[in-house]
Structure 1
Amino acid sequence: MTIRDASNRQSALNRLTANAPFLARLAELNPDDVTRFLTDGIFAALAGVSAPPEDDDIMRALRQWRGRIALLLALGDLSGEHDVATTTRLLSDFADQACDAALAAAFAERTPDEEPRGLSVIALGKLGSHELNYSSDIDPILIFDPDTLPRRSRDDPTEAAVRIARRMTEILSARTGDGHVLRVDLRLRPHPEVTPIVLPVDAAISYYESEALAWEQAAFIRSRASAGDRALGEQFLAAIQPFIWRRSLDFRQLKEIGAMSDRIRDHFAQGQAFGPGYDLKRGRGGIREIEFFAQVHQLIYGGRDPSLRVPATVDALAALAAAGRVEPEVATRLSGHYATLRRIEHRLQMVEDQQTHCLPTQPAALDGVARLDGKADGAALLAVLEPVTADVGACYDRLVAERAVTTGLPRDDDSLAAALLAAGFDPPDAALRTIAEWRGGKLRALRSPAALDALETMLPELIKALGAAPDPDATLTRFDKLVAGLPSAINFFHLLAAQPALARIATRVLALAPTLADALGVRAQLIEGLIDSRAFDAPADKTQLLQEWAPGLATLEYERLLDRVRDLVGERRFAYGVQLVAGATDPLAIALGYSELAEAALCVLADATVAEFVAAHGRISDSELVVLALGRLGGRALTHASDLDLIYLFTGDHLAESDGPRPLGATTYYNRLAQRVTAAMSVPTAAGKLYDVDTRLRPQGAQGPLVVTLDSFERYQREEAWTWEHMALLRARPVYGSDNARDEVERIIAELLATPRDRAKLAADAAEMRDRIAAHKAPQGVLDIKGGPGGLVDLEFAMQVTQLATGHCHDPNIAAALACLKAAGLAPDGVCEAHGLLARMLVMLRLTAPDGEPATAAARQLVASQCGEPRWPQLLAAHDAARQEIADWWASIRSQQENEK
């Protein structure tokens, strides 16, 4: 022990004796503990204090144990040998053990020959997050399992559980000559005025799944099975996770949680002003506001990000900062402030073991609390606390401002017409009729008082956003159509009211992108993903997506996994589309992002499908499924609604058989497996549609088997394949299978593509195939970017004939292949720019004019801007020039073929 350690310990004891009568009495009752602390330190002293034996007088033994723990933890805290977080965790650990001991004693009194089981203590609040105060209540919810709870033969299960729970509470809470152990508050259970103090587990699950209130959701952020039958408690908490962490945000609940905080501020107004009498817990800038700050962010983002589901406040702030939800500097400051406020709160409670949070109003008492904390006097303590509470209050005020609700729109026609005219509806007549129909409950989604209330909350921001659209009336009509398709609009409206930026984004989507508008009409909650600022980050690659998704997918059953992947892909695909509409990202980068997204989904679903199939049919030794992507997925250039062109292959012996409970021959095995992978990717589920899968590019087309061996694939491609099939292989890329299997497929493709060609026959075959395509599928107008003279199909034919004829630049990505050909002098100088322009136009028009219909004037301007042109006329001129460049290249290749005949 150093001189400094000795000095700190003695100072702590002196301050405790002089300023905390409750702890001073405990020091007199437990001199050996004090001596051990002074000599060996806090952790050695704590090691000498253990839970009382089961055969002791439980009431007295627990109280004496609690007194020794309270004394030693205070000494360790005051001496600085452990910090606030350690203090609260050790207090929480003691409370857990005390609850276990009291519960065991209660069971022993009623069923002495049975092991305690079937009753669980679910800790909420500070005990739930291991942040218990010196003199805090505990706020448990007690649940029991009627099937496993030991009871006397004539006892009703509920009656037996209530008696045991009541006795446990009495053991802990009753005040005797030795004091009490823990105050137990059971009022956080559902309907405490009418329900028993311990609830059947099934009834509790049912309540939280269907009836629970907003504050209850927030309370369960800090929850755990802390005592009793922990396995039962953990099963209960696992069952209600969807209630706690909701993927679909309920902004009504967030609004109510914020209102609850406001009511606390109002109710404790006398403790708001900083100074003597200030309420450290509930005052402005106090402990509760730091907790609410963290919890509101957790409720918004935790349903989508499991890393945020941490109960302790400081841990939650760190997780929010790491996830980019809170500025790291703000999280660090609030964490430090939290420790300061909790430390002084402990000092208040050390004085007389009172559950108080208010600074004393009497100068002498305030000086005593300050000296207990090592300060000279009350003024010095206030000087430390004042900047802390000011900063916390300012942070919380900003959070409150973010969810502030604007005033509603007028209800009388004249005032409303004036407001609509000012917003941009000129004339306002159509908007007046639509709003009147909404307010009259004409739409199914607007027939409840709650829906109408949500409508009024949202209308001001919505009308402002709609009025700023290029065509306000048309955009309002689309919004009306969207709402008409919703079963309920309540949460959607609250979301738009709480996040005005989303109202502007939704309006832009409705005005400019019919494809996204249709998606939003089917799943209005898609817009929730845009709350996350990272929705506008550069598109993630496959590896990043798989890492991000893994925690949330790991434990899902197969059917739920199919839905979840559809949700994840739909949200991300929608966000990428919004990036295009916002003009935030290059369309070619989004095309790559769409491709990485599809490949990640394929990997997840193929892995899950294989696992399901193996469970039923086993594995085939030295054999596996390989998936080959062609077309836009192969070239990493998908549009918003592209099909996936896939070929299924398998390695190994086609005569082999699987080793499972229901064995299959290899060909049957892999055909059935491939069918299931296709279904996993394409069949609509409750979460909607994922991708259309096209397998017609396989050997022998739609007439051939769905899956063939690598050997059969290679033999077919060498001996039977048509020229156009080798052209298609130029965009082939293995996207699923082991590294070895994918390497083998790439080797086969590379050798096939390197085979010397008869150039005249190659060009003739390509020209014939191009003519067939043109005859079969006429261009859809002058802006059919793929079809027609000089379109992307012509570009690919010209490029692929050149690649096969020369044996060069076999890159599945068109842009990369063209750059290679240009560098080698095998493609015209302007073809790379021509492809870039048309590829960008294709991506943009798939969103803004998906069926070839004329885009609106505003959408045309968006497309022009995203393609690097100032206006639509300039884009059309650049488009014509690009098509001419491509048409000339393709014509030159055809003419060479004609000349070589």
Structure 2
Amino acid sequence: MNSGDLQRAVDLARSHAPFLAMLLDRESPLLDDLEHALIDPLKTARGLDGEMPEARRLRLERRRLALLVALGDLSGRFDLTKVTTLLSDFADDALDRAIRTAIRERTPDAEPRGFAAIALGKLGSRELNYSSDIDPILIFDPATLPCKPREVPEDAAVRIGRRVIEILQARDGDGYVLRVDLRLRPSPEATPIALPVEAAISYYESQALPWERAAFIRARACAGDRALGGLFLEAIRPFVWRRAVDYGTIREIRDISRRIRDHYAQAQAFGPGFDLKRGRGGIREIEFFAQIHQLIHGGRDPALRVPATRDALAALAVDGRIDAEDAAALTDAYVEFRTVEHRLQMVDDLQTHTLPKGQEALDNVAALHGLEDGATLIERLRPHVERVGRVYDALAGEEEPRLTADPETLATRLAAAGFDNPAGALRIVEGWRGGGYPALRSPQAREALESLLPGLLDAFAHAPDSTHAITRFDAMLSRLPSAINFFRLLEAQPGLTRLLSAILCHAPTLAEQLGRRAELLDGLIDASALEPVAELPELIAEMAARERGVDYQWQLEHVRRLVGEKRFALGAQIIAGASDPIDVSHGYARIAEAAIEVLAMATVDEFQRAHGRVPESELVILALGRMGGRALTHASDLDLVYLFTGDYSAESDGAKPLGAVTYYNRLAQRVTGALSVATAAGPLYEVDTRLRPSGAQGPLSVSLDAFVRYQREDAWTWEHMALTRARPIFGSAAARAAVQGIVDDVLNGARPERNILADAAKMRDEIAAHKPPAGPLDAKLLPGGLVDLEFAVHVLQLQHRTAFAPQLRDAIVLLIAEGLLPPTMADAYDLLGRLLVTLRLVAPDAQPPGETTQALIARAVGLGSWDAVVASFERTRQEVRDCWAQIRAGG
């Protein structure tokens, strides 16, 4: 090269690069001996006279070096390696001096140690371009970091880090030093800008995401306490370079590429406006091609652990891991792309990688590159872009369609799909992809999610309320410890995804349960899940299965799991419109009765092992309320009374004998616990025992003799009203018959004379005063609701000693047949019952739900519209109010 080359470079800079022209004017002394200045550009750039603050000195050095490197580049004296090495070495030095300055400004007498910068990205591989930002991770050692008196190291490190950034990024008339991007540190939205070294090591050992492995291929300790940086990198080396191939990481790198392609889709049609860095067939795809092969093979072959892209391609080719011709083609393309990228940045010192769209601007860049015009530049780049695209496409292979990962494109697609709030849906999806939830931390989980996303979002978008569906699914995911099997189940069962969407839209109660136990969805795989619940003997046989012999705890878990699945499936039947809510209500009751039978028997057996049996005695369980009447809702508790037969003064015959009263009270406590104490499979039922003799003040279990005496002599009217729905559900046939006989005798007159009507009216008024309706749809507690209907029925039953049937509708039909109730009360019960069962799932707060859920309620109660539901509800309540008012009036 001769001086003419340098003069041509100067002329090109003045004519086609305003930024360089400005530097030529401001740094004109450098041109006096440009040949000498280019021998060691870094030394020349640092050759400033006079004292000045370090920050200003660095800004002046940066602009001097920028001019020298550009002239060396344009003249052909510096190849791409020389250019990027000079820029990277300056950045290392600038970052190191900024750290030292920041420490010494705060603690002048301290040795600047305990604080290091780890370079990632292009600085890590010494491939920095003219306008690159740098991507360091700042770490510190609390034990050695210089601090001010009474200052904790964490605060000192953050202040040092902020000052470092200020020194490098501050702009004035002299320009700036470097742009700094700290977002590659762990959880940048939540962590301080400088991390304790042990915490950083712990993160990369246990929590880091797969893409972070790829980032660390190019990591090196570049500034500050390099010994500290080296220790950190050595500690996390096993995280970066794994001997076992991790295809989840490979998939994630490809997904990053897909995201970039999606985002820059408008620049993928090669020509003016093409993004050399991110476009299809551009710089990023060359880098990712190398990094994917390094991640696959570098764990076993240290020779492949080279940070620079061209070095990596060469090493992979030598090792036979990639085709040598492909490596050469990608290398040539990389040099061409990066060189033109530098021309783009020389023009105005902008961080750009995009070919100008305007013809004049494109011609200007071409001229700076020494070409005739923009068209010539395009044609020179075209074969490289096409070859890189083909090579990378072959690596990506034939993959199933995936949802776009670019935010702008995804937002457009979500809106087009039909989401009510596409911006909110976008935030949720991006949160999932960020791996923030425990269930999404693993590559396998995120891979399973990506496979599911297109179908899942399509189901949500077409749901009656897409916002409810996706937000409740998000809430569910946030609580799941693991989600891989859940995702795979949904992927394999598209119909299940649609049902899940409906559940999430309409049923907060079920959605909350799914959030605790996603495996509940497993029970819906079988088509029989949407059929009526089996009869009691079959349910008992299924729950009593003892795969592990006499393991009591296993039995508890087994029953809880089955009950949870079956109750959930019953709720899903209502959401799917597959069953009448009245039938579902009976199904809930059969499930509860089977669970009581199996768990009470298992508890009795377990109790007897320690305490034996009380001779000629046994436990009997009497169901009252909705459980007695075989009409539970999803939210119903169980009203139970524990009784025992035989002599209350007897004693058990076990190794630890107990008197009968103590025996059965403890046994009752155990049964209650078996039914209500939450285990790993979740809670089962709330058990209410306040309807026992003497209420909450009395013993938990009483003898039959005491029960008979109490009911015949002391019980109040409300207790006899409760007895109208009493039903023995546990005990031998003889014991149940004995209890039923007692109940029948009491109801038929073996009870104290009371003013039934006055007592009932007073009690109803107390309920109204102390337990108001939850909302305008409270089918139970509103005036004219189920409670009023129940009071009407029970008063007539006790007054007339007739129509005793535990199931309320059966009693209503009998009372109608005897002319004691108006015929409308049967239909009233049906509507109120269906509403109660449905609303417990879809509107547990008894407030009017959204329009789409209103339609579901209308369908469930057999009406054509929500207006019809409201009108029927009001009319029915009026009919019940009138009926109860007439009974209260003595008519």
Alpha-carbon distance, 1:595 to partner? 0.3
2:521 alignment partner, one of 527, 530, 540: 527
Q: 1:768 corresponds to which residue?
A: 762
Q: Which runs of 5+ in 2 are unaligned?
A: 1-247, 249-397
1:1-80 aligned within 5 A: none
1:149-168 aligned within 5 A: none
Does structure 2 retain, via aligned residues, the 8 Å contact 1:406–1:460? Answer: no
Does structure 2 retain, via aligned residues, the 8 Å contact 1:405–1:498? Answer: no
Matched, 1:642 2:636: yes
Q: 1:482 corresponds to which residue?
A: 476
Alpha-carbon distance, 1:415 to partner? 4.0
1:472-871 aligned within 5 A: 472-552=466-546, 555-755=549-749, 761-871=755-865
Does structure 2 retain, via aligned residues, the 8 Å contact 1:546–1:600? Answer: yes
CA 1:741–1:691: 2 relative to 1, 3 Å: same
Which amino acid in the other structure matches residue 430 of structure 1?
G
Name whichever of 729-738 and 865-874 sits farther off. 865-874
CA 1:503–1:556: 2 relative to 1, 3 Å: farther
Alpha-carbon distance, 1:440 to partner? 2.0
Does structure 2 retain, via aligned residues, the 8 Å contact 1:539–1:593? Answer: yes
Alpha-carbon distance, 1:553 to partner? 5.2
Does structure 1 retain, via aligned residues, the 8 Å contact 2:546–2:555? Answer: no
Distance 2:687 2:750 in 1: 32
Distance 2:754 2:733 in 1: 37
Does structure 1 retain, via aligned residues, the 8 Å contact 2:544–2:555? Answer: no
Alpha-carbon distance, 1:550 to partner? 3.5
Does structure 1 retain, via aligned residues, the 8 Å contact 2:610–2:654? Answer: yes
Describe the superposition over 1:487-534 as per-residue Cα deviations: whole angstroms up to 9, x where unpaired. 122221111111111111111111000000000000011001111111
For residue 798 of structure 2, give the secondary structure of its aligned residue in structure 1: helix
1:412-431 aligned within 5 A: 412-426=406-420, 428-431=422-425
1:322-361 aligned within 5 A: none
Describe the superposition over 1:431-490 as per-residue Cα deviations: whole angstroms up to 9, x where unpaired. 222222222223232222111111111101101100011221232111111111111222
* Matched length: 495
Q: 2:159 corresponds to which residue?
A: none
Alpha-carbon distance, 1:426 to partner? 4.9
Which amino acid in the other structure matches residue 418 of structure 2?
G
Q: Which has the larger radius of gyration?
A: 2
Does structure 2 retain, via aligned residues, the 8 Å contact 1:785–1:838? Answer: yes
CA 1:878–1:416: 2 relative to 1, 3 Å: same
Which amino acid in the other structure matches residue 829 of structure 2?
H
Matched, 1:467 2:499: no
Matched, 1:436 2:436: no
Alpha-carbon distance, 1:405 to partner? 10
For residue 691 of structure 2, give the secondary structure of its aligned residue in structure 1: coil
CA 1:553–1:889: 2 relative to 1, 3 Å: farther
Which amino acid in the other structure matches residue 726 of structure 1?
H
Q: 1:454 corresponds to which residue?
A: 448
1:56-455 aligned within 5 A: 407-426=401-420, 428-455=422-449
For residue 890 of structure 2, give the secondary structure of its aligned residue in structure 1: helix
Q: Which runs of 5+ in 1 are unaligned?
A: 1-251, 253-403
Describe the superposition over 1:610-657 as per-residue Cα deviations: whole angstroms up to 9, x where unpaired. 001111011111100000000000000000010000000000001111
Distance 2:787 2:407 in 1: 56
For residue 510 of structure 1, give the secondary structure of its aligned residue in structure 2: helix
Which amino acid in the other structure matches residue 875 of structure 1?
V
Name whichever of 523-532 and 487-496 sits farther off. 487-496
Alpha-carbon distance, 1:549 to partner? 3.1
Q: 1:873 corresponds to which residue?
A: 867
**Moved runs in structure 1, 4+ residues, more than 4 A?**
756-760
Does structure 1 retain, via aligned residues, the 8 Å contact 2:777–2:847? Answer: no
For residue 896 of structure 1, give the secondary structure of its aligned residue in structure 2: coil
Distance 1:614 1:636 in 2: 30
Describe the superposition over 1:152-180 as per-residue Cα deviations: whole angstroms up to 9, x where unpaired. xxxxxxxxxxxxxxxxxxxxxxxxxxxxx
Does structure 1 retain, via aligned residues, the 8 Å contact 2:586–2:632? Answer: yes
Does structure 2 retain, via aligned residues, the 8 Å contact 1:647–1:695? Answer: yes
Q: 1:260 corresponds to which residue?
A: none
CA RMSD of aligned residues (A): 1.9
CA 1:890–1:617: 2 relative to 1, 3 Å: same
CA 1:672–1:508: 2 relative to 1, 3 Å: same
Distance 2:852 2:546 in 1: 39
- Give the TM-score normalised by the residue count of structure 2: 0.54
Does structure 1 retain, via aligned residues, the 8 Å contact 2:637–2:688? Answer: yes
Q: Percent identity?
A: 55
Distance 2:739 2:439 in 1: 53
- Give the TM-score normalised by the residue count of structure 1: 0.54
Describe the superposition over 1:691-718 as per-residue Cα deviations: whole angstroms up to 9, x where unpaired. 0000000000001111111111011000
CA 1:588–1:554: 2 relative to 1, 3 Å: farther
Distance 2:748 2:845 in 1: 39
For residue 790 of structure 1, give the secondary structure of its aligned residue in structure 2: coil
Distance 1:554 1:603 in 2: 19
CA 1:553–1:844: 2 relative to 1, 3 Å: farther
Alpha-carbon distance, 1:427 to partner? 5.3
Which amino acid in the other structure matches residue 857 of structure 1?
E
Does structure 2 retain, via aligned residues, the 8 Å contact 1:756–1:807? Answer: no
Which amino acid in the other structure matches residue 604 of structure 2?
V
Alpha-carbon distance, 1:719 to partner? 0.4
Distance 1:654 1:581 in 2: 49
Distance 1:687 1:722 in 2: 40
CA 1:657–1:547: 2 relative to 1, 3 Å: same
Does structure 1 retain, via aligned residues, the 8 Å contact 2:403–2:450? Answer: yes
Alpha-carbon distance, 1:726 to partner? 0.4
Which amino acid in the other structure matches residue 835 of structure 2?
M
Which amino acid in the other structure matches residue 811 of structure 2?
A
Which amino acid in the other structure matches residue 628 of structure 1?
L
Does structure 2 retain, via aligned residues, the 8 Å contact 1:674–1:706? Answer: yes
Which amino acid in the other structure matches residue 564 of structure 1?
H
CA 1:489–1:755: 2 relative to 1, 3 Å: same
CA 1:661–1:476: 2 relative to 1, 3 Å: same
CA 1:878–1:853: 2 relative to 1, 3 Å: closer
Which amino acid in the other structure matches residue 812 of structure 1?
P
Distance 1:782 1:442 in 2: 39
Distance 1:757 1:417 in 2: 71
Distance 1:765 1:777 in 2: 18
Does structure 1 retain, via aligned residues, the 8 Å contact 2:775–2:847? Answer: no
Which amino acid in the other structure matches residue 563 of structure 2?
V
For residue 464 of structure 2, give the secondary structure of its aligned residue in structure 1: coil
